[in-house]
Chain A
Amino acid sequence: MDITFLMNSLWVMISAVLVILMIGGFILLETGSTRMKNAGHIAGKTILTFGISSIVFWAVGYGLIFGTGNSILGFSDFFYSGYDVEGLGLSGPVFFLFQLAFAGISLTIAFGGFAERAKLSVYLVFALLFSILVYPFIAHWIWGGGWLAEHGKQDFAGSTVVHLTGAMAALAATILLKPRIGKYNKDGSANNIEGHNQVFTALSVLLLWVGWFGFNAGSTISVDGAFFGFVALNTNLAAAAGTVAAMLISWIVVGKADVPMMLNGALAGLVAITASCAFVDTWAAVVIGLIAGILVFYSIRLFESRKIDDPIFALSVHGTAGVWGTLSTGFFATPELAAVGKPGLFYDGGFEQLGVQALGVLACGAFAFIVSYIILSIMKVSMKGLRVTEEEEIIGLDISEHGSYGYPELVRSETIAKEKTHNGSSIQQAPLNSQQPTVN
């Protein structure tokens, strides 16, 4: 067998594994950024919905994206049986798995907007419908030879296809679900519902950062010229720049070296470079990451001020940074690296590529948002609401949706203490440090 074929297959298989492990990163990200009463639910539903997405992708998703069809959608290769695809240069099942992982990531991003208040059944139904009616369209338009591919849209590993699509579905969900209890005060001011474990969140970013080498560098789907190394280098630089930029901007503007913001900056850098990692020079990767880190800071503040409760900042990290990343190739794509489309504005390419990128963002963003909004609106009516009851939200989705807590000892003891306090019992669990005197 051809050694290049084997090497390509091996490299993409490794990348697929790295991308699938990013689901683990998202579990830590979402649980760490939310409260412990919902941790088991969030971790469990992420695995479950990846399972649903995998089966749907096998049955129809792959065919809708890569099947033979028109510029809107593919219509063949349903229920993929593991055959090789002629001219692909690597194992068909490996390519399939790699693409399946991307579809799963996009769905996981979308669910960020559902966090801490959506019913479990809503997750299940939306996983099915998003995987058929939303993601395959956009993936086909850009990667499956659809109408945006014909225009030369540059989205190397999915700033638009994976991240913006997921974020737009998250936006539709968070608008329809409305803010979590306690997020906003009567006077309209926002409260900070802190995540229960910053260590989880930091570890998640590390896991995602490493996984992104599979995501971006693996998207070369070939070992030819070891170009994957250059792509990985750009990926790392953008992530690093995003981290530093978000920390600095937070420190400069609000006077705090905010850890969650710094972590969001790393992710924003990764999301932004996803589209452009193969098309830009290393210095541009740093600039793209820096701008992403700053944008994510202001984007989070903007959404919050508009009363859009985005519990894990999916809209800003994947949406805003996804838009910026997609547009960035319109500025920075070099003539040597622009294998798809044209060079960017800074390389005498004029506004043409930037225009194509903007068109892609608008079309894909609008499509993902509108279709997700319609799906969720219909679900809201037919499923008698998307949201758990107020009581269920307060006791936590672990217990209301699954019957057991992710942190049983801790959450139960707190609940018991609260109940006893409420019932007037003498046994009360005082909050930590409540008796600490303050010098004031």
Chain B
Amino acid sequence: MELNSYAKIKDFRIKRFKAASINNEELNLFHDFVHESVISVALHEVVMRRGQPSSPFCFFAMGSAGRMEQSIWSDQDHGMVFAAEEPTDLEYFLDLGREISNGMEIVGYKKCSGSVMASNPLWCKSSADWGNQLDYWVTDSTWESIRHLLIFADARSLYGESTLLSILKTQLANYSEKDQLLVRMLHNTMHLKKGVGILGQLLVETYGTFSGSINLKDTAFFPYVNAVRLLAFYEGINGTSTLSRISMLSDSIMTPVEKVFYREHFSDLLEYRLVHGSHIDYDAGHYVDGMALTKKEKKILKEILRAGEHLYEKVRRLIERM
């Protein structure tokens, strides 16, 4: 089947996602393929309307897509960088961003509630403007700028000229006054929602449709993802997935034994969400029904959560000592 329309891509996604959900890597490669197919269709639409793009561009994913950690349902977090400089070029690529965003929504990816999308001028810029933007975010150091930097840190090229993104990521990695920025980043992301109580019980949601369920996103994923992202930023690592970032950390920051320990637990977490998550929709995908878990499954989850908390504390102490 030629995937030359959003409707066809949607059908394809619905038919194939179960087969692709055998593990995290397969599932994320499948998401990448669907995204690339949407971008191709969107580009074709825009070329029909406005002609060929005037310069090379790179469309990149951020958030869980950037980290290759999407669950079955996922929302949109993306941006674009292009080489051209004229104001009309910006119009062109914003139009492309809107087309991609609408296409992705049709295919089944919710739009980002915070508007982190290539249809937003903040996330769709020329190379030069992106360079200035990153400098501004670094020097501004306000809560919002730090948040934007943390989002950008997970950017991964999906389509087009990946060098355009690599240059920007290198610019960020080479920033000289990292220590101070790191402390600000720590304060921005290191709020921890506890998953295990002091009596060793799983802390479940008490209200709403997910009462009785464990919020894996807040209690399990965030400690690992946020802690490792900070370490990766400190060491100038360009990898975006949490697992690859852990592997690339220097031994002085994390010993080889610790790397194996945290990698194993995070891999287990990705697997755990895939197997036990209630994947009815995007929100439900983050939750695991506590009542449905066996004693053994609860034990595994507690170990994952405790290891995440341990990592969180380790990174907090490390950065605060800097």
User: Which A residues are closer than 8 A to B by beta carbons?
Assistant: 185, 187, 189-192, 251-255, 301, 434-440
Closest beta carbon of chain B to A313's beta carbon, Å:
14
A253-B197, A255-B203 known; A437 and B116 CB under 8 Å? yes
Most interface-central of A185, A251, A255, A437 (chain B CB within 10 A):
A437
A-contacting residues, B103-120, CB 8 Å:
112-116
Most interface-central of A190, A253, A434, A439 (chain B CB within 10 A):
A439
A435-B114, A435-B115 known; A440 and B217 CB under 8 Å? yes
B198 contacts A252, C-beta separation under 8 Å: yes
A-contacting residues, B152-211, CB 8 Å:
188-189, 193-194, 197-199, 201, 203, 206-211
Q: Which of A192, A253, A439 contacts B147 (CB 8 A)?
A: A439
Q: Which of A191, A252, A439 contacts B150 (CB 8 A)?
A: A439
Residues of A within 8 A of B147 (CB): 436-437, 439
Report how far A190 CA is from B199 CA in the complex, Å.
Answer: 25
B189 contacts A439, C-beta separation under 8 Å: yes
A435-B114, A439-B147 known; A252 and B199 CB under 8 Å? yes
**Besides the contacts A185-B208, A254-B203, A440-B217, what 13 more A-B pairs have beta carbons closer than 8 Å?**
A190-B208, A191-B208, A192-B207, A252-B197, A252-B199, A253-B199, A435-B114, A437-B116, A438-B113, A439-B147, A439-B150, A439-B189, A439-B226
Number of interface residues of B (CB under 8 A): 30
Q: Which of B114, B115, B194, B207 contacts A255 (CB 8 A)?
A: B194
A189 contacts B197, C-beta separation under 8 Å: no
Closest beta carbon of chain B to A266's beta carbon, Å:
21
> Across the two chains, which residue of chain A brings its CB closest to B63?
A440
Q: What are 19 pairs between A and B in contact, CB < 8 Å?
A: A185-B209, A189-B208, A190-B211, A191-B207, A192-B206, A251-B198, A252-B198, A252-B199, A253-B197, A254-B197, A254-B203, A255-B194, A436-B114, A437-B114, A437-B151, A439-B150, A439-B151, A440-B63, A440-B217
> Across the two chains, which residue of chain B brings its CB closest to A438?
B114
B242 interfacial by beta-carbon distance below 8 Å: no
> Across the two chains, which residue of chain B brings its CB closest to A253?
B197
User: Which B residues are closer than 8 A to A by beta carbons?
Assistant: 63-64, 77, 112-116, 147-148, 150-151, 188-189, 193-194, 197-199, 201, 203, 206-212, 217, 226
Report how far A191 CA is from B207 CA in the complex, Å.
Answer: 5
Residues of A within 8 A of B207 (CB): 189-192
B113 contacts A189, C-beta separation under 8 Å: no
> Across the two chains, which residue of chain A brings its CB closest to B199?
A252
Report how far A253 CA is from B206 CA in the complex, Å.
Answer: 11
Report how far A301 CA is from B204 CA in the complex, Å.
Answer: 13
Q: Which of B64, B115, B193, B211 contacts A437 (CB 8 A)?
A: B115
Residues of B within 8 A of A435 (CB): 114-115
B208 contacts A192, C-beta separation under 8 Å: yes
Closest beta carbon of chain B to A22's beta carbon, Å:
30
Report how far A189 CA is from B290 CA in the complex, Å.
Answer: 14
Residues of A within 8 A of B212 (CB): 189
B148 contacts A437, C-beta separation under 8 Å: yes
Closest beta carbon of chain B to A143's beta carbon, Å:
40
Report how far A252 CA is from B193 CA in the complex, Å.
Answer: 14
Most interface-central of B112, B113, B188 (chain A CB within 10 A):
B113
Closest beta carbon of chain A to B199's beta carbon, Å:
6
Report how far A99 CA is from B258 CA in the complex, Å.
Answer: 69
Report how far A435 CA is from B188 CA in the complex, Å.
Answer: 17
A440 contacts B64, C-beta separation under 8 Å: yes
Residues of B within 8 A of A434 (CB): 113
Report how far A56 CA is from B271 CA in the complex, Å.
Answer: 67
Residues of B within 8 A of A252 (CB): 197-199
Report how far A187 CA is from B112 CA in the complex, Å.
Answer: 27
Closest beta carbon of chain B to A182's beta carbon, Å:
11
Residues of A within 8 A of B226 (CB): 439
B209 contacts A189, C-beta separation under 8 Å: yes
B112 contacts A437, C-beta separation under 8 Å: yes
> Across the two chains, which residue of chain B brings its CB closest to A187?
B209
Name the 3 nearest CB pairs between A and B, nearest first: A437-B114, A192-B207, A255-B203
Report how far A440 CA is from B150 CA in the complex, Å.
Answer: 10
B211 contacts A189, C-beta separation under 8 Å: yes
A255 contacts B197, C-beta separation under 8 Å: yes
> Across the two chains, which residue of chain A brings its CB closest to B208?
A191
